[in-house]
């Protein structure tokens, strides 16, 4: 484990990069930023020449691969970083200069222990994509199948591990400052981020995820996952079926090919709901570059390094929340938040229901072009502090993916109404999955508030579902000594406090990027 001085220097370098791009202003001017962090932001930008408009994307791109991943997530959180920063981060491309082919050849041959030519009859040396973690080449197998070959960048695992160690150190110091920084639970969200990135850095896991998703979506017409070539897949190399199609973002090309864009938009939304609510296992990187439309209209997904998973209890709550918002049953949505222990019990269910109504009513019956799920989430986040709601990191990927799906669906069909598309599916799932129990619950809700509690009480007594909204047990957190607890000298303690403040500035990106509130 690196010493404090190593983390301090890394954080100082990142802070200076952010400052040069004007990207510390948001943290510095946020009323919820701890005072030590705000002071360290001012210190970090001393002597820098900042642009008139902050360039968040440029800063994260310059810092490196781990920051790029965080920046992409921040782009979906305007509630935390502001609309300006989120819009700017949308321009952040997960792309780096390609690794020379000689290094890719060595990596493939070393991982399989045999020459490249024995694995592939043809291997294009020019990559078709070069991202922060891996790059992709087109190839032909010895059997003549067209495939895509994804290869990890040499040394990328070690670089991510190094950066995450510093995130952990920074998050521990930030959380110890208390207040809003503690409510965001940065240590826990960094622990989850570490798990997610470790999965993404093992291409066997990505291949297994693709296989599992393909199995879960067998019964869904018009959506497909490329087949895995397991004989040419290992932890550092993954070989999959080549997908021919039009990028789902190329609206004009889709129109020229005669595709039904409103149908594509609706099918994409329902595919996501099927994955998240029915299967509890969903493609969590559904951005425009990872979705194609085949000539027959089938939506083909690629890149399964980031997947989300929620258990049945959490899916039930999610379905009831979505259904309650679509039907205007804000009281039930509020009760679910209390049952899930997202809102502490000392608050009023009725007050929370009223706050939800203020968010939901303006949205109902309007197309996404006028009001969006993203705006609804902004409104929900705005009331979280009033009701002392802690972050729910296990739901982060779900929220992020919902925003992505909404954005793509809106591009395909600006008139789409996410509620109209979602409500029949969600309502049907509740009826099919809960059966008579759900109908009884509906009847009881019409009778008395006391009887309303019975179905949930029975479910808990039977121990059919885990409590707390399906939130997984938190992973073990590393034991990190705080710098201000060191007793060598007052000078050392002060240095640690200052360093931790700067660490907090870095950890705020991670906490903001990975914290689910509500």
Catalytic sites, residue numbers: 285
- Residue 122: both structure tokens together: 């043809």
Closest by alpha carbon to 200, among 153, 242, 241, 168?
A: 153
The secondary element (H helix, E strand) that includes residue 73 is: helix 65-74
Whose tokens are 């679509």? That residue is: 326
On whether the CB atoms of residues 78 and 95 are closer than 8 A, the answer is no
The dihedral of CA 85, 62, 505, 52: what is its sign? negative
Compute, in degrees rounded to 10, the torsion defined by CA atoms 200, 206, 212, 218. 110
CA–CA distance, 432 with 424 (Å, rounded to integer): 12
On whether the CB atoms of residues 122 and 148 are closer than 8 A, the answer is no
Strand pairing class (299-301; 223-224): parallel
Give me the helices (H) in 113-202, please: 116-119, 156-176, 180-183, 186-200
- Residue 98: both structure tokens together: 């390609």
106 Cβ partners below 8 Å, 6+ apart? Answer: 154
- Residue 167: both structure tokens together: 């995130």
Bridge partner list, 238: 150
On whether the CB atoms of residues 113 and 236 are closer than 8 A, the answer is no
The number of C-alpha atoms within 13 Å of 431 and in the hemisphere containing its C-beta is: 6
Q: How far is CA 282 from the centre of its chain?
A: 11
Residue-by-residue DSSP string for 289-335 = GGEEE-TTS-EEE---SSEEE--HHHHHHHHHHHHHHHHT-HHHHHH
On whether the CB atoms of residues 239 and 233 are closer than 8 A, the answer is yes
CA–CA distance, 448 with 443 (Å, rounded to integer): 9
């Amino acid at each position: 484990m690196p010493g404090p001085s190593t983390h301090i220097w890394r954080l100082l370098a990142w802070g200076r990069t952010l400052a040069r791009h004007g990207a510390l202003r948001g943290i510095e001017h946020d009323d919820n930023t701890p005072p030590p962090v705000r002071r360290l932001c001012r210190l970090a930008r001393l002597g820098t020449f900042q642009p008139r408009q902050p360039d968040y994307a440029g800063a994260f791109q310059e810092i490196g691969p781990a920051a790029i991943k965080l920046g992409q997530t921040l782009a979906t959180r305007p509630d935390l970083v502001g609309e300006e920063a989120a819009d700017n981060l949308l321009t952040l491309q997960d792309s780096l200069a390609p690794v020379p082919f000689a290094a890719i050849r060595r990596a493939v041959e070393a991982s399989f222990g045999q020459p490249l030519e024995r694995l592939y009859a043809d291997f294009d040396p020019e990559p078709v994509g070069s991202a922060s973690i891996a790059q992709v080449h087109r190839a032909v197998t010895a059997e003549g199948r067209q495939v895509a070959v994804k290869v990890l960048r040499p040394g990328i695992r070690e670089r991510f591990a190094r950066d995450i160690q510093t995130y952990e150190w920074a998050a521990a110091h930030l959380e110890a400052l208390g207040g809003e920084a503690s409510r965001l639970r940065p240590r826990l969200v960094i622990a989850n981020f570490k798990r997610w990135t470790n999965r993404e850095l093992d291409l066997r896991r990505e291949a297994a995820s693709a296989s599992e998703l393909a199995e879960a979506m067998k019964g869904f017409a018009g959506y497909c996952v490329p087949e895995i070539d397991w004989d040419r897949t290992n932890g550092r190399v993954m070989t999959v079926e080549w997908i021919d199609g039009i990028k789902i973002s190329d609206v004009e090309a889709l129109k020229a090919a005669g595709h039904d864009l409103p149908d594509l938009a609706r099918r994409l939304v329902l595919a996501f709901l099927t994955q998240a609510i029915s299967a509890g296992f969903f493609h969590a990187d559904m951005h425009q570059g990872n979705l194609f439309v085949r000539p027959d209209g089938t939506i083909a997904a690629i890149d399964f390094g980031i997947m989300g998973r929620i258990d049945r209890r959490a899916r039930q709550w999610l379905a009831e929340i979505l259904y309650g918002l679509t039907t205007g049953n804000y009281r039930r949505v509020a009760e679910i938040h209390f049952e899930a222990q997202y809102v502490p019990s000392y608050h009023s269910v009725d007050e929370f229901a009223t706050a939800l109504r203020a968010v939901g009513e303006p949205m109902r019956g309007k197309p996404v072009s006028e009001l969006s799920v993203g705006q609804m989430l902004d409104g929900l986040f705005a009331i979280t502090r009033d009701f002392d709601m802690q972050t729910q990191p296990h739901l982060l990927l779900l929220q992020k993916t919902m925003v992505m799906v909404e954005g793509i669906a809106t591009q395909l069909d600006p008139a789409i109404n996410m509620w109209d598309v979602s409500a029949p599916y969600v309502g049907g799932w509740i009826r099919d999955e809960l059966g008579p129990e759900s109908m009884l619950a509906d009847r009881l809700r019409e009778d008395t508030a006391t009887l309303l509690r019975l179905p949930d009480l029975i479910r808990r007594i039977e121990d059919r579902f885990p409590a707390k909204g399906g939130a997984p047990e938190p992973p073990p957190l590393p034991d990190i000594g705080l710098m201000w607890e060191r007793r060598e000298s007052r000078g050392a303690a002060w240095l640690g406090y200052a360093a931790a403040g700067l660490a907090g500035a870095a950890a705020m990106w991670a906490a903001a990027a990975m914290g689910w509130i509500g």
